[in-house]
Amino acid sequence: MFELFAEAEAHRRLALLEDTRSQREKRRGGQSAQPIRGTATRRIKQERTIMTTLTDKRILVAGGTGTVGRHLVDAVLAADGTAVVPSRSAEKLEALVEGRGEDHDHRLVPLLGDIASERERTALLERARPLHGAVASLGSFVATPKASVLASHPTELTRALDGYVAAHLAAAQAVIPTLEPQGGGYVTIQGPLAFEPLFTTAGLVSVATAAQAMLARVLMKELAESSVRVNQVVIYASLGWGDDDQSPVTGADIGRYVAYLLSDAGAGVRGQTIHLMSPAQVSTLP
């Protein structure tokens, strides 16, 4: 009974949020959009030309309410695209929308639901269509501090695999077939622990994300001739600890690179594992 009430309350709150957004759009629609001076028109057009890489493209951001996901959403919006963000949490969707302000209301589409659920994904993707690309930044397992993997219970490994590789598999199974009719990019976000066990207390994460990395490679192989191009971005960044810009690779760098891979400019890149270790890799993008 509590679960039914919670679900109904979540839908009510998201509906209220969407209604508020609609009212703001109506108010803005009643105001004059004409600039006062012609020079302002030229300046605005110039900025949009520089930023526009995902114009008229709807990009699904799986994990868009998370630490990395928020930067991915910002990058899609900055590139003049529409960010479609599914989430099981109405509260997280509300925080995401409110945190982006009113400027991007019409290009930020929050969808309440679980894309990993076979029962919910069909209706969710129907609301998300059309889609022209997607990025998945998923991982819900929190490692229990252990001296070694040998000290961990097998059920903890199962939890780690469910939190990373199973989550990415479910997202790929849901989204890639939706992209295939018109084609587009599909990007998975990965951490360096999959390639180097940097911390003895995160051994299970290394094992699970290594399986996630192999999943991405298998998808690249299976879809080599598909209209969907799959790439994997390995991020060397410290995010979610208070200041996301303190490491050499920032959240904005990650978002900018992913936006490039999902854009027409990045259409020639497919089947690649990109280790994003330096902002110089972003500064050289077209």
> What's the mean pLDDT when you consider all of the chain?
81
Block residue for tokens 């018109």: 182
Q: How confident is the model at residue 45 (pLDDT cuts 50, 70, 90)?
A: very low
- List, for residues 119-152, the tens digit of each pLDDT value: 899 999 999 999 999 999 998 766 566 668 888 8
* pLDDT for position 53: 83
* pLDDT for position 174: 95
| Sign of the Cα pseudo-torsion (179, 271, 66, 253, in order) | negative
Contact 278, 250 (CB under 8 A): no
Query: Alpha-carbon distance 84 to 107, whole Å?
Result: 8
| β-sheet bridge partners, residue 61 | 135
- Average pLDDT for residues 30-47, to the nearest whole number? 36
Query: Alpha-carbon distance 79 to 72, whole Å?
Result: 11
Q: Examine the pLDDT at 35 and tell me if it is beyond 70.
A: no
DSSP labels, 31-77: S----SSHHHHHHHHHHHHHH-SSTT-EEEEETTTSHHHHHHHHHHH
- Nearest alpha carbon to residue 187 among 263, 118, 249, 239: 263
Q: Examine the pLDDT at 33 and tell me if it is beyond 70.
A: no
Q: Examine the pLDDT at 93 and tell me if it is beyond 50.
A: yes
- Hey, what are 138's tokens? 């998923």
Residue 185 CA: distances (Å) to CA of 36, 207, 267, 273? 40, 27, 8, 14
- List, for residues 258-270, the tens digit of each pLDDT value: 999 999 999 999 9
| β-sheet bridge partners, residue 133 | 59, 185
Q: Residue 241 half-sphere exposure, CB side, CA atoms within 13 Å?
A: 7
Residue 218 CA: distances (Å) to CA of 75, 166, 232, 268, 275? 27, 14, 11, 19, 18
Residue 11 CA: distances (Å) to CA of 6, 20, 89, 219, 251? 9, 14, 10, 34, 30
* pLDDT for position 229: 97
- Average pLDDT for residues 87-97, to the nearest whole number? 94
Long-range pairs for 101-105: beta carbons < 8 A, 24 or more residues apart: 102/24, 102/28, 104/77, 105/21, 105/24, 105/25
68 compared with 248, residue with greater pLDDT: 68
Query: Alpha-carbon distance 138 to 64, whole Å?
Result: 9
Our CA angle for 71, 43, 32, nearest 5°, is 90
Distance of CA 262 to the CA centre of its chain: 11
* pLDDT for position 144: 61
How does DSSP classify residue 184?
E
- List, for residues 155-210, the tens digit of each pLDDT value: 989 999 999 999 999 999 999 999 999 899 999 999 998 998 877 678 888 999 99
Instruction: Please enumerate in sequence order all residues whose Cβ is within 8 A of that of 212, keeping only pairs 6 or more positions apart, or say none.
Output: 164, 165, 168, 188, 190, 194
264 compared with 42, residue with greater pLDDT: 264
- Average pLDDT for residues 55-83, to the nearest whole number? 95
* pLDDT for position 232: 98
Q: Examine the pLDDT at 28 and tell me if it is beyond 60.
A: no
* pLDDT for position 40: 37
